[in-house]
Amino acid sequence: MRILIVDDEVIIRTGLCTVIDWKELGLELLPAASSGEEALERIAEEKPHIVLTDIRMPGIDGIELAREVKALLPDTEIVILTGYDDFSYAQQALREGVTDYLLKTSRPEEIIKAALKAKQNVMDKWETMKQENLQQAALRNQLLDRALKRGLHDDAEAREQLRVWFHRNGVDVHPESGAAAAMQVMLVSVSGWEAGLTELLQGAAQNILFELLPCVTLMNKEHLLLVVRYEEGGTDQAGLKSALKRVTETLKCTAFAALGTVARDYESLRDSYLAAKEVFAYQGLLGSQGLYTLADIQERSGGRTVLTEKEEAELAAILMSGNATDLRHWVNQRVRALMEDAFATPMTVQGYLQSMIIAGHRWLERANSSEVSLSKLPSYEGEGRPEEEIFKILTAVMNLFHQGLDQNKYAYVYKSIAYIRDNLHQPISLQQVAGFVHINPNHFSEVFKRETGCTYIEFVTQERMKRAVDLLQSTQTKVSDIARRVGYEDIKYFTQQFKKHTGQTPSEYRQGSTGVDKI
């Protein structure tokens, strides 16, 4: 904060400049002025926040100087210093907006007190101005948010406030011709700095774009929103790409931008916003940087939404193994292939990611003989990198299963049960399962029967029948295909076993539960 001392007496000027440590008071002392005329010549350029001036000087006196300063810089604080204890002077000075009135015989501490009072007044004005600016910015942001999301067709006053803001920033008019200009909404996401500096990076990008483009800006958590004046050769796609390049080169970051349709009036701005928002949802699918429009996504009809049986079997084997490295590799491969699919859309991507999680949950429920609480598992938030979130969830699934095994003396029996349930589609002998858990077949058979209450063959048959019932109830798969999926190549033998366990043939069971038969 700057202070200017004005006095025609050199002794007074020198004394005021040297006796008081202005720097210690947080004030920058400008070179003193020897007259009101000199002060007025310098004030416009040096813009002092506080003027400490003598009241009686040749030419322009202190009161006239105060009047002129207030006209030029209304927020400047003025302290009058005089050798005359004249109340009429004090009254006149106060009418001109002077902060304080001191005698030249005042002690240094009294002058310091007056200067600090003036300084506090300036700081209070700054704070008030800051709060007013924040309130105005918040109001403008609310208006813009409403205009883009719901429209302002029913609020003429709000439309006018928005128009004034746009007009002031040259968004809705060509400055050369004064003709109305078209506008476009652009959403920009910047990344590349440390996680804790994202907001700082976004603010820096906002400042650069505001300087480069005729626009108004709105910053939120996900992206920057810009409403940009559209003009060929200036702010068309080539011009916007050039501005984004300046951002990335200056800030050493990456920028992904989604550009909406051209809006010819305020009401169609909402259509431009919705188009930009639709394109922005493809971030990651289109890449991590660049400028994209609706033309870049119009050929995308949708990719895969569910895991194949092969992929689900691969996941089950990895979860059973407890190998986190293999799990990370598998998840990264699946997600990378998903994001590189030229037909994928945000909806199909989310469907596939959810399918991966569901497959993990389904495996855990199938693998555990005791009831599992899925509430212990983290949920998919969709906020970070998808491969990291999916890996985190599936790792929790894997750990929950293996922690349960660690707490049981005969954990290998329950591990074998999970293995059996994952391999019902193929022949699985007792020797094969015993080998999987590294236990002698005879000992395994004895402990298995004691822990499950049935022989190995009885257990496998029960599990196959349970799976067949589930498939009959939940799918329209042919009975012959269901038989193969639960390990029976001989459909006649499968039908006999199914009737033995349920009292009905597969076709009768399906007709009773769904009223549909498909052989």
Binning pLDDT at 50, 70 and 90, where does residue 155 land? low
**Do the domains at 2-125 and 409-519 have one common CATH topology?**
no
Residue 518 has pLDDT above 50, yes or no: no
Task: Give the torsion sign (CA, 321, 324, 329, 334).
Answer: positive
CATH T-level fold of 2-125: Rossmann fold (3.40.50)
Backbone angles phi, psi at 255, to 5 degrees: -140, 130
- pLDDT at residue 74, as a whole number: 86
Q: Looking at per-residue confidence, does 424 or 180 come out higher?
A: 424
Task: Please state whether the predicted TM-score (pTM) of the whole model is above 0.85.
Answer: no
Count of residues in the chain: 519
- Residue 326 Cα to chain centre, angstroms: 30
pLDDT at 470 over 70: yes
pLDDT of residue 131: 64
Distance of alpha carbon 492 from alpha carbon 498, whole angstroms: 10
CATH of domain 150-172+180-294: 3.30.70.270
Give rounded-to-5 percent helix, strand, coil for the chain. 60, 10, 30
Summarised one tens digit per residue, pLDDT across range 279-326 is 999 998 998 899 999 999 998 888 889 998 889 888 988 988 888 999
**Average confidence (pLDDT) over 223-246:** 88
pLDDT at 104: 77
Q: Is the confidence at residue 277, as pLDDT, over 90?
A: yes
- Tens-place pLDDT, residues 376-405: 677 777 677 889 999 999 999 888 887 766
CATH 1.10.260.40 fits 409-519, yes or no: no
What are the domain boundaries of the chain?
Answer: 2-125, 150-172+180-294, 299-407, 409-519
The alpha carbon of 403 is separated from its chain's Cα centroid by a whole number of angstroms, namely: 35
Higher pLDDT, 48 or 174: 48
